[in-house]
Amino acid sequence: MPDIAASTVHLPPGTWESVLDCLCAHFATVGRVQWLDRMARGRVLDDAGQPITPATPYRAGLCIRYWREVADEEPIPFAETILHLDQHLLVADKPHFLPVTPAGRFVEETLLARLVKRTGNADLVPLHRIDRLTAGLVLFSTRPDSRAAYQALFRERTIEKRYEALAPPLPEPVFPLVRRSRIVAGEPFFRMHEVDGPPNSETRIEVLVRGAGDWRYALYPHTGRKHQLRVQMAGLGAPIRHDPLYPVLMAEAPDDHARPLQLLAQALAFDDPLTGERRRFESARTLESPLAPHSTLS
């Protein structure tokens, strides 16, 4: 079965006798027994693909490829859907709470790992990311030789992205509203915030439904800053429902599956760089019933 791509590390300068000693010192949270187990299963290689053993001598700058693993990884009880698959692209409809790529405590319970296992294609690479707490569309490249053409859609901002969100009313602004602001890293490191200065983010905001409680908004990000939509909506005074980071950082707690972030990557549209064909994909998910099962679009 194909595997997700390995992580890499170049060994830093030091006086260790073996690669094993260096890895144990460099990754303080991974124990020696875990490294020995990975080596025994061929999960630690050099850049030529040769297995690293406990006796492999240390050399500064040596490139090591290894596969991240998390013991007793908690399953995420929601399934992704493949909306489209051809020789160049895969379009996935991601549930809330599922990360796109391995990070932190998530390795196997990620959209990428699940799709590699389902399709048998180890060349899958996400062309963009959405937050773990956000549901909706993620576009993947299925092969290296056409990847750059599709990556350019995001780099050159020629792909149209549409999100939906539930958030408190904003009765004062005239819609559609264009929010331009400067977003930079804040404290803690994983939170972003708006500051004075030249704008580096832009989103067009429309109102779809003026509800008795929350309103339903359509959000069209022109740029792709980290947490852009969440930060900008909070900055306007309408934080997205169930957001644990904005405007106030909530105490760390297990995921509450009954209260998913009410943000959905609802649609992607673009001119195919290989064929010129106009393509549009829409999520089958809705914000009203985030825990309901979803079917694949034909």
Tell me the C-alpha distance between 138 and 51, whole Å.
34
Do residues 217 and 143 touch, judged by C-beta distance below 8 A? Answer: no
**Catalytic one among 3, 93, 123, 131?**
131
In this prediction, residue 43 carries a pLDDT of: 85
- Range name among 60-64, 106-110, 146-150, 248-252 with the lowest pLDDT average: 106-110
Least Cα distance to 281 among 92, 59, 56, 61 occurs for 92
Tell me the C-alpha distance between 237 and 55, whole Å.
59
Tens of pLDDT, residue by residue over 223-274, are: 999 999 999 999 999 999 999 999 999 998 999 999 999 999 999 999 999 9
Do residues 150 and 271 touch, judged by C-beta distance below 8 A? Answer: no
Least Cα distance to 136 among 234, 298, 259, 281 occurs for 281
Tens of pLDDT, residue by residue over 13-71, are: 999 999 999 999 988 878 888 888 889 888 899 989 899 999 999 999 999 998 877 66
Q: Is residue 214 annotated as part of the catalytic site, yes or no?
A: no
Radius of gyration of the chain (CA): 22
Burial profile 71-98: b = 16 or more Cβ within 10 angstroms, e = fewer: eeeeebebebbebbbeebbbbbbbbbbb
Q: What is the pTM of this model?
A: 0.79
In this prediction, residue 295 carries a pLDDT of: 32
Q: Provide the pLDDT confidence category of residue 2 given band limits of 50, 70 and 90.
A: low
4 has pLDDT over 70: no
In this prediction, residue 71 carries a pLDDT of: 62
| Tokens representing residue 135 in the block | 């549901």
Percent of the chain with pLDDT over 70: 94
DSSP conformation class of 38: H
> In whole numbers, what is the pLDDT of the chain averaged over residues?
90
In this prediction, residue 177 carries a pLDDT of: 95
Tell me the C-alpha distance between 206 and 218, whole Å.
5
